[in-house]
Structure 1
Amino acid sequence: MGHGGGGRMSAELVEHLFVPAFGNQADAGTGDCAVFELGGARLALSTDTFVVRPLFFPGGSIGHLAVNGTVNDLAMSGAVPSHLSCGFVLEEGTELGVIGRIAQDMGAAARDAGVAVVTGDTKVVDAGHGDQVYVNTSGVGLIQAGVDIRPQRAMVGDVVIVSGSIGVHGIAIMSVREGLEFGTEISTDSAALHPLVAAMLAVTQDLHTLRDPTRGGLATSLNEIAATAGIGVRLVEKAIPVPPEVGNACALLGLDPMYVANEGKLVAFVPREHADAVLAAMRAHPLGADAAVIGECVDEHPGMVVARTAFGGTRVVDMPLGEQLPRIC
């Protein structure tokens, strides 16, 4: 299970098993999607599989995640998402009403995101050999000329900005799964982020790196980028926006919000000269109203992420080995 948690074990599985098996055509990088040229156009292509349990949770469902997750992977390259495919793996005995509700949620999320679901596939497995519904989506989008967003471009001096409160989605899932009550309902932050990215690109096309910190949370995304770019990341812990209800839930469950999954937030590495304008544009957009500067890229400790604590000390924010919260997407 640890190999599917988005941490160090997942990275090793890709690097040492899948990439060698697929050969030179496999992308060994850590981006959210593949970027390539076809017929004179620059395209982004991504695929993702969703196995979340429960299927429905406050503010969303596996159907919403299947659309927004793939749309966001494309958006993190600066692409404008356009078309999706959809594959369903259904367990024998699953009620058609459940499947229909998920399909309706997918259709609504696709319309909200301005993308079309244009092809798909359905398979049914024997009872006991699935978990009601698994969904795979692939997506394609177009990248405009002059946009070059990838983890390799993060560099010393960049300002690190997060688009809003972290840890919300993972805690929303956990609260339903474990039947926990925290005094207030915590709803998923699942959302399609490409309109926010468009607002940022309207300020400057020179955005270096974008990432939606899903499995493994903000800490894992930052570690992947630091390792890929060969730079250090220095955070200010008190600047990282954690809602009180998420912080309290994490304290109760023994979790670190930095490692809890998000589904509607992004982290951006922005050249310092553009950081103020990009931050203002993010805060002017509903999806980035709570955006905050949380750190910077430095030439010390390349490949590592550290955080200055509220007590004036420094701690290493390492990549997790496996997973904190199982099956959050």
Structure 2
Amino acid sequence: MTKPQRRTLKASTITMAHGAGGKAMRDLIEDVFVGTFDNENLNKLEDQARFELAELQAQGQKLAFTTDSYVVDPVEFCGGDIGTLAVNGTVNDLAVSGAIPKYLSCGMILEEGLEVSLLRRIVASMRQAADEAGVTIVTGDTKVVPKGKGDKIFINTTGIGVIAEGVNISAENCKPGDKVIVNGFVGDHGAAILNARGDLALDVELATDCQPLHGLMQAMLEVCPELHAVRDASRGGVATVLNEFAESSEVSIRLFENKIPVRDEVRGVCEILGLDALYFANEGKLVVVVPAEKTDAVLEVMKAHPAGQGSAIIGEVLEGYAGRVLVQTGFGGERILDMLVGEQLPRIC
């Protein structure tokens, strides 16, 4: 039996019919989504993706499961777009648990009037990011809201990964004496989004740091299976992550201001606006807390990986003053680095 030819979307903009469940919606799904993501599970157009448990069990003893939604404004920016964020953001949420990411779902909320050409670019970015991360987008959903009730496109992605036996990474594991490492320049994504909005009219190119981090994580685990705590520093930045670590582990953490890698361009944006790069969002940076005796080995393998070439030790874990994060300034004094209060930059991811 000859396989039916895949449907083609002829419309140039999204209409309410594309979310109504009929022919127009089927054209959209088959052409834009199935035609781009194109894998055995998705191509069946079932209401769910199905996996062999034995295949997952052969790779690990625990299942990691996460979900996130993306509402960034603008939806395209230097170095990426909302589709790139949706894939890498969810891949990284899995990666920092020590999991090997395997499968993603993709839920799209489209605004009536969205240009189909823009949608195709975003979906193509998702496919490229998924291929680079070694994950497969296996199921999804599409809804359309009336014009003025959304903002072009919102994306939800859910991810499944597998954690190998013996890996136990948690915000509760930080111990006095541990060292704090980041894998490169902080604040790039938040600054890139701010610049893309055009409000500052800066004559500099600021690109997102969006990248998958699971390869870096696996390299770190090979030399240090007992990594204590790891988290990607997205909304709220490095400052928020470290405050969460300090509270969960009932320790204090001291950062060394002159050791924190920040690009001059990002530092300049912060100085203009009176902001702190430690609160800026990142989409390709993780914060890792490592046992002191394994610090050199972990730092060496991080610097050897493409996603960690700018890695640096930026702080240490201390006893006492549970839940407090301090920054040792270049002048020898100290200031408290609190959890982010309010909204520094809206809709950055």
The one of 175, 181, 200 aligned to 2:220: 200
Gaps of 5+ in 2: 1-55
For the residues of structure 1 that align with 2:250 and 2:203, how far apart are their CA atoms?
Answer: 43
The one-character-per-residue Cα deviations of 1:259-289 (angstroms, maximum 9, x if unpaired) are: 1000001110000000010001001111110
Tell me the CA shift for residue 300 of structure 1. Answer: 2.4
Structure-2-length-normalised TM-score: 0.82
Q: 1:107 aligns with which of 118, 124, 127?
A: 127
Q: 1:92 aligns with which of 112, 123, 135?
A: 112
* Cα RMSD (Å): 1.2
Q: Does 1:116 align with 2:133?
A: no
Give the stretch that moved more between structures: 125-134 or 179-188. Answer: 179-188
1:311 aligns with 2:331: yes
| Match status 1:145 vs 2:165 | yes
* Corresponding position of 1:65: 85
Aligned residue number for residue 316 of structure 2: 296
| Structure 2 counterparts to residues 42-81 of structure 1, below 5 A | 42-81=62-101
How many Å separate the matches in 1 of 2:203 and 2:342?
30
Where does residue 185 of structure 1 map in the other structure? 205
> Which segment drifts farther, 173-182 or 261-270?
173-182
Number of residue pairs aligned between Structure 1 and Structure 2 = 292
CA offsets, 1:235-256, max 9 Å, x none? 1111100111110111112211
Aligned partner of 1:264 among 268, 278, 284: 284
Instruction: Report deviation, 1:181.
Output: 4.0
- Whether 1:237 and 2:265 are equivalent positions in the alignment is no
Q: How far apart are 1:179 and its partner, in Å?
A: 4.2
**Corresponding residue for 2:243?**
223
Cα distance, 1:157 vs structure 2: 1.2
Q: What's the counterpart of residue 32 of structure 1?
A: none
SS for the counterpart of 1:197 is: helix
- Match of residue 284, structure 1, among 288, 304, 312: 304
CA distance in 2, matches of 1:57, 1:266: 21
* Matched residue SS, 2:340: coil
5+ residue gaps, structure 1, are: 1-37
Deviation of residue 139 (structure 1)? 0.1
2: distance between equivalents of 1:308 and 1:314? 4
User: Identity of counterpart residues, as a percentage?
Assistant: 53
Point out 4+ residue stretches in structure 1 off by more than 4 angstroms: none
Deviations 1:21-77 (A, max 9, x none): xxxxxxxxxxxxxxxxx9783010000000000000000000000000000000010
Aligned with 1:202: secondary structure? helix
C-alpha separation in 1, matches of 2:240 and 2:122: 29
> How far did 1:322 drift?
1.9
TM-score normalised over the length of structure 1: 0.87
CA contact (8 A) 1:182 1:245 kept: no
Output one character per residue of 1:104-132: Cα deviation in whole Å (capped at 9) or x when no partner. 11011000100000000000011110001
Larger Rg: 2
User: 2:4 aligns to what?
Assistant: none
1:174 to partner: Cα distance? 0.2
Three-state SS of the structure 1 residue aligned to 2:208 is coil
Partner SS, residue 172 of structure 2: helix
Equivalent pair of 1:233/1:306 in contact (CA under 8 Å)? yes
